[in-house]
Amino acid sequence: MTKGYIAFILHSHLPYVRHPEFEDSLEERWLFEAISESYLPLLDTFESLNTEGVEYKLTLSITPTLLTMLADPLLQQRYIRHLNKIIELTEKEMDRTKGHPEFNGLAQMYNKKYKNDLHIFRDIYKCNIISKFKELMNSGKIEIITSAATHGFLPLLGINPESIRAQIAVGIQVYEKFFGVKPRGIWLPECGYCPQVEPVLKENDIEYFIMESHGILYADPRPVFGTYAPIVTPSGLVAFGRDIESSKQVWSSVEGYPGDFDYRDFYRDIGYDLDYDYIKDYISPDGRRVNTGIKYYRITGKTDDKKPYNPAWAKNKADMHAGNFMFKREKQIEYLSEYMEQPPIVVCPYDTELFGHWWYEGPIWLKMLFKKIHYEQDTIKLITPSEYINQNPVMQVSSPTSSSWGHKGYNEVWLNETNDWIYRHLHKAAERMIQLANENPFATGIKRDALNQAARELLLAQSSDWAFIMRAGTMVKYAEKRTKDHIGRFTKLYNDIKENNIDEQWLRDIEYKDNIFPDIDYNIYASI
């Protein structure tokens, strides 16, 4: 007998890193790695479960920036080129490792994997993996929800309410373009909630959003069932809170499964390990060493003396950890169900890229878990937030508190001494964009093109990724440059529009470089 539910929510996001001005962009590799290591393996997981007749439910958020890149013909062709290059490297590796069976077998494994990626992506999916996600959505297996346009961190943009409105409205427009329906739910970027988002979500017919746990636990009045039942806000939106216990078991490399010594070590890659002259054609064109995706070692422990990766051992561990996760959720839900008037729901949100990219065995673990839930127990069922709302319409009314899932739970990651300088520019640009929209409601021709491009540049500048990267201390120069470039382009557009002196050649160039959201209407920034 079913006593409660688990809602898996995977958040799929990458910043907009399309660089047509470069033949080979290091940042575009982020997308290619995510496709090969996360998105294709997860689609394979879903296909396999469907073939076996396993019942499962999963919620997937796909951000507008990621959707736009996945649909881009230039990036699709560059991904194919990337795969061919890796396949070439795996063939060299099969030859180089002939005298080392433990590595040669892995080289063959990677050769098979990347050849299969190429076949699936090019020949089966016709370069369009979005259509496969849409097919799964239409089958009822997964629910796809939206996010803000460029993953702007909404609590720090709220000084200009129009910025929140534009981020959310454009995000919904992009979703509708690709999936043909309106989304019922939204992933607030970084789980960043503030009360100012609610009116905008309501006017766009959003029904629910996902929160960090303390956003629910510190709500007023205090929710009777904590995070194990959603609350409905006074404005009528449903808020689901992240479960702390199940989260750590999956995402933490210290306390969770991904740190097991038998799993593949993410940080040991032949792009760094092998001689430069051998590997130079497969790393960054400027000579910087980068991950190739070919990794031969398992985590082993806190030591530099890493042992060879054993896929069979890793698969066995994934099976054990899947069983452990299910057992703990069964006990958790059995306990909760004794004290709750409605079936408890354990909400498990994670970054999609954790599965496969950071945690190589993540898709295997997920497949084994879903099979175990289907075949080996009857205490818990998988569910989507929409289904839970439909089945349990009565909820406690409570006002959530501002929160995020960043370090310390609020805004510190996106506002600190490394990145605070960006906000005076973002806020001023937003103020100017609102002014332009109010002054030019019916612009046509090149002026309309310039206004639309100004809106694109502002949205791109607002991406939460740039502030995050500055705080993390990796690729800082790139994040700073992206912020300065987009603000600089916006400012020139603003001045050109105000002076009625638009540089058309320059405008067409940045339209080509920053071609995100081709259907955008700058009037989204007009004051209400």
**Residue spans per domain, the chain:** 7-71+128-260+344-408, 416-525
The proportion of the chain whose per-residue pLDDT surpasses 70, expressed as a percent, equals 100
**Which residue has tokens 């702007």?**
152
Output the average pLDDT for the chain.
Answer: 97
pLDDT digits over 394-413, tens only?
Answer: 999 999 999 999 999 999 99
Q: Is 73 exposed, middle or buried (0-12, 13-18, 19+ CB in 10 A)?
A: exposed
Chosen CATH of 416-525 out of 1.10.3720.10, 1.10.260.40, 3.40.430.10, 1.20.1430.10: 1.20.1430.10
C-beta of residue 40 within 8 angstroms of C-beta of residue 117? yes
Examine domains 7-71+128-260+344-408 and 416-525 and report if their fold is the same.
no
CA 117 to mean position of chain CA atoms: 20
DSSP 262-273: TSBPTT--HHHH
The pLDDT assigned to 255 comes to: 82
528: pLDDT strictly greater than 90: no
The pLDDT assigned to 1 comes to: 86
Q: How many angstroms separate the CA atoms of 437 and 443, rounded?
A: 9
Q: How many angstroms separate the CA atoms of 240 and 224, rounded?
A: 14
The pLDDT assigned to 236 comes to: 97
If you average pLDDT over residues 388-397, what whole number do you get? Answer: 96
* Confidence category of residue 326, pLDDT binned at 50, 70, 90: very high
Tokens of 312: 């069979």
Q: How many angstroms separate the CA atoms of 111 and 477, rounded?
A: 34
If you average pLDDT over residues 129-137, what whole number do you get? Answer: 97
The pLDDT assigned to 213 comes to: 97
51: pLDDT strictly greater than 80: yes
Q: How many angstroms separate the CA atoms of 475 and 122, rounded?
A: 31
pTM for the full predicted model: 0.97
* Host H or E run for residue 146: strand 142-147
Pairing verdict, β 142-147 and 58-62 = parallel
DSSP 87-127: HHHHHHHHHHTTT-HHHHHHHHHHHHHHHHHHIIIIIISTT
CATH number, span 7-71+128-260+344-408: 3.20.110.10
Give the CA distances from residue 85 to residues 69, 80, 192, in Å, rounded to whole numbers and listed in that order. 20, 9, 39
* Confidence category of residue 354, pLDDT binned at 50, 70, 90: very high
pLDDT digits over 457-516, tens only?
Answer: 999 999 999 999 999 998 999 999 999 999 999 999 999 999 999 999 999 999 999 999
The pLDDT assigned to 191 comes to: 97
C-beta of residue 111 within 8 angstroms of C-beta of residue 84? no
